[in-house]
Amino acid sequence: MTPAAAAEERIRQDLLRPLSGAGAGYCAAAAFCALIVAAGAVAWGLQIDRGMVVTGLARPVYWGFYIVNFVFWIGISHAGTLISAILRLTDAGWRKPVTRAAEAITLFALMIGGMFPLIHLGRVWLFYWLLPYPNERLLWPNFRSPLVWDMTAILTYLAGSFLYLYLPLIPDFALLAKRTTGLRSKICGLLSLGWSGADYQWHALERANKLMAVIILAIAVSVHSVVAFDFSMSLAPMWHSTIFAPYFVAGAIFSGIGALVVVMAAIRKFLRLENYLRPVHFDNLGKLLLLMSVVWLYFTASEHLTVWYGNNPLEMNVFQAREHGGFGLASVLMVVCNFAIPFVLLGIRKLRTIPTIVFSGFSVLAGMWLERFLIVLPTLANPPLRAAAGTYLPSAVELVITAATFASMALLYLLFVKAVPIIAVWEYEHEADG
Amino acid sequence: MKLTAKFAARPALEAALRSAGCERTVVYSAKPVEIASGAAVRPGRMSLLAVAGAVAAGTGMTLFMLWTQSDYPLVTGGMPIKSLWPIGVISYEAAMLGAVFGTLLGFLLEGRFFRNKSGPGEAVDSAWLFLQLPCPGGEADRLIEQLRAAGAVSVEQEPD
């Protein structure tokens, strides 16, 4: 065996090693996550059985944690889009060890986020009313409704991101079919579609990846714009804004990078992939996180300054509630988490280490969840008719379902890293070769 | 008949491609190989399929929505019954979905999947590079000689 061949074999063994066996720690983590997910399923079952009365939703606050989580998770799904698609199109070589981790976040976050409109519907069995077919009175769905836009956009993004994740997996499935035995080998063989490594297949894969990168970018931008339209198409104070769509897209990319940093750190530590997910990858992601932190501040400042200067009483009512009322502390925390912490830790080169980058990632995740919370709640709790103002306190059902979504993400990821190599073997070998 | 030659490195493979000619040859490898000589260039129409998918799905969905609004005019807040602005969002998403499926179709066609033509099984799990080329009767010895001279580690002859 030549030295180059030996090096390639070592890479394969390293990247395929996490797939074999599961330690006690892994099993305990998976069981813990599964338990929380099961609790979430029970809570949702209770809600279906008893109705929305088991939630904290009450007049005038009809959107609570469910919609906050919906916007948050759809935002997280932008991790794969940015890291994988943009960097693939710009031929940035350093992206290769992180693309699959990012693409998996996209798919899983989208699956989780897409559940929330269903959970929020209450009578979930009537979901099919959104589908484009006429009811018994020959009435078609209202295609002008943002709810129908949501469904179309999310399903399109789900199909696109699944294909975007699956295509680069095909050569790895072929490899796994060779290196495993039994049922696993058969399943991998089926999923590899008969991949033989022929040059025309590599050409087709390269073209498809490039095309899908362009398409998925176009879809991702539209998806979070549509989520923003859910708010901005209404005439509600501090929602009816022309910059909401780009503001949401920027925030989504921001939180997506935060999630990616956290997931990468976990993969690096627990799968012992320190030689592959190197400090340079974290450093580059840290710089991107810093950039997006500044972009986020720019959008937030533009939005708030415009409202303040307009001094529209209806908008100022909500503005004051956000800044000084019951949501004041959350507003401060949001700015600290989304700007102050990342700006200091990532802006000063000496402080930019893997632990601080990961801490910034956690901070951004918390901050962006708070941002979604602050967009949804104050406007609803402070309607134009002041006498109708209300409050919102999430119920145990909502809290358990929220916890279950985070556990779902962890569980899906735990299963994923045991099913396929989390770093694309062929891409990494190609990069090492180049 | 066809010949399958095994190479340890890219320069030898390129030399073999130059000497044997690039007609109807297929290179098999476990990772993408960039061949400098311009051999194995595969022009494709995948982007055309993606655009066609986008146009078909986008147009189809737009017409469908316009038809449904004529079929049962739904008045919402005094807005026009037919307007491209609000249905444009779904038209756009449908176009993107069409592009996704167009790309998938192009990938399956260009990658010649499901055609039951498998290459050397070793190719997907080794560092070796394989070159497969058709071998007309009577030319086998000459081609094998050429491939060995180019640096092939081994050359195998097998029926089509």
Domain boundaries, chain A: 23-131+140-433
pLDDT at B34: 80
- Omega before A60 cis (within 30°)? yes
Give the residue among A295, A297, A288 at the shortest CA–CA distance from A264: A288
**Domain range holding B17?**
2-42+118-158
Of the candidates B30, B46, B117, the beta carbon closest to that of A207 is on B46
Same domain, B68 and B26: no
Residues of A in contact with B79 (CB under 8 A): 144
Q: Residue B122: which pLDDT band, with cuts at 50, 70 and 90?
A: confident
**Residue where a domain stops, chosen among B94, B110, B126:** B110
Q: Decide: residue A236, CB within 10 A, 0-12 exposed, 13-18 middle, 19+ buried.
A: middle
pLDDT at A186: 95
- Beta-carbon contacts of B54 under 8 Å, excluding residues fewer than 6 positions away, are B95, B96, B98, B99, B102
Chain B residue with minimum CA distance to A427: B31
Interface of B with A in 85-114 (CB under 8 A): 86-87, 89-90, 92-94, 96-97, 99-100, 103-104, 106-108, 110-114
Residues of B in contact with A140 (CB under 8 A): 68-69, 71-72, 74
Give the residue among A137, A141, A145, A119 at the shortest CA–CA distance from A48: A119
Whether the CA torsion A390, A395, A398, A403 is positive or negative: it is positive
Residues of A in contact with B94 (CB under 8 A): 152, 156
Mean pLDDT by 10 residues, chain A (434 residues): 80 88 91 98 97 93 94 89 83 84 93 93 88 80 89 94 95 93 93 91 94 94 93 92 94 93 93 90 94 97 94 93 90 97 96 96 97 95 90 95 96 94 85 60
Quote the percentage of chain B above a pLDDT of 70. 91
For residue range A24-76, what is the model confidence (pLDDT) as tens digits? 999 999 999 999 999 999 999 999 999 999 999 999 999 999 999 999 999 99
Instruction: Tell me the average pLDDT of chain B.
Output: 86
Chain B residue with minimum CA distance to A424: B31
pLDDT at B156: 86
- Beta-carbon contacts of A135 under 8 Å, excluding residues fewer than 6 positions away, are A129
Same domain, B106 and B55: yes
pLDDT at B69: 87
A203 and B110: CB-CB below 8 Å? yes
B89 and A160: CB-CB below 8 Å? no
pLDDT at A405: 96
More confident: A426 or B99: B99
Same domain, B139 and B124: yes
First to last CA, chain B: 5
Touching check for B153 and chain A: CB below 8 Å? Answer: no
- Over range B105-116, report the average pLDDT: 87
pLDDT at B149: 87
Can you name the residues that pair with B28 across neighbouring β-strands?
A198, B130
pLDDT at A92: 81
Same domain, B68 and B35: no
Q: Which helix (H) or strand (E) holds A172?
A: helix A169-179
Classify strands B129-134 and B26-28 as parallel, antiparallel or unpaired.
antiparallel
A153 and B71: CB-CB below 8 Å? no
Q: Which fold has domain A23-131+140-433?
A: Formate dehydrogenase/DMSO reductase fold (1.20.1630)
Touching check for A140 and chain B: CB below 8 Å? Answer: yes
Chain B residue with minimum CA distance to A205: B107
- HEC string of chain B equals CEEEEEECCHHHHHHHHHHHCCCCCEEECCCCCCCCCCCCCCCCCHHHHHHHHHHHHHHHHHHHHHHHHHHCCCCCCCCCCCCHHHHHHHHHHHHHHHHHHHHHHHHHHHCCCCCCCCCCHHHHHCCCEEEEEECCCCCHHHHHHHHHHHCCCEEEEECC
Residue A36, CA atoms < 13 Å, CB-side half-sphere = 19
Touching check for A142 and chain B: CB below 8 Å? Answer: yes
pLDDT at B36: 67
- Compute the distance between CA of residue A158 and CA of residue A111 in angstroms, rounded to an integer: 7
- Compute the distance between CA of residue A166 and CA of residue A191 in angstroms, rounded to an integer: 9
pLDDT at B22: 62
A105 and A68 Cβ atoms separated by less than 8 Å:
no
Same domain, B137 and B152: yes
- Compute the distance between CA of residue A216 and CA of residue A56 in angstroms, rounded to an integer: 36
Distances (CA, A) of A422 to A87, A257, A268: 18, 17, 10
pLDDT at B117: 65
Give me the phi and psi of B35, to 5 degrees please. -100, 120
Give the residue among A219, A210, A211 at the shortest CA–CA distance from A249: A219
Does pLDDT of B38 surpass 70? Answer: no
Query: Cβ–Cβ contacts within 10 Å for residue B53, how many?
Result: 23
pLDDT at B116: 63
Of the candidates B31, B94, B123, the beta carbon closest to that of A429 is on B31
What CATH number does the domain containing B145 carry? 3.30.70.120
Can you name the residues that pair with B132 across neighbouring β-strands?
B4, B26
Same domain, B103 and B56: yes
A377 and A398 Cβ atoms separated by less than 8 Å:
no
- Compute the distance between CA of residue A35 and CA of residue A29 in angstroms, rounded to an integer: 10
Touching check for A274 and chain B: CB below 8 Å? Answer: no
What is the domain count for chain B? 2
pLDDT at A87: 84
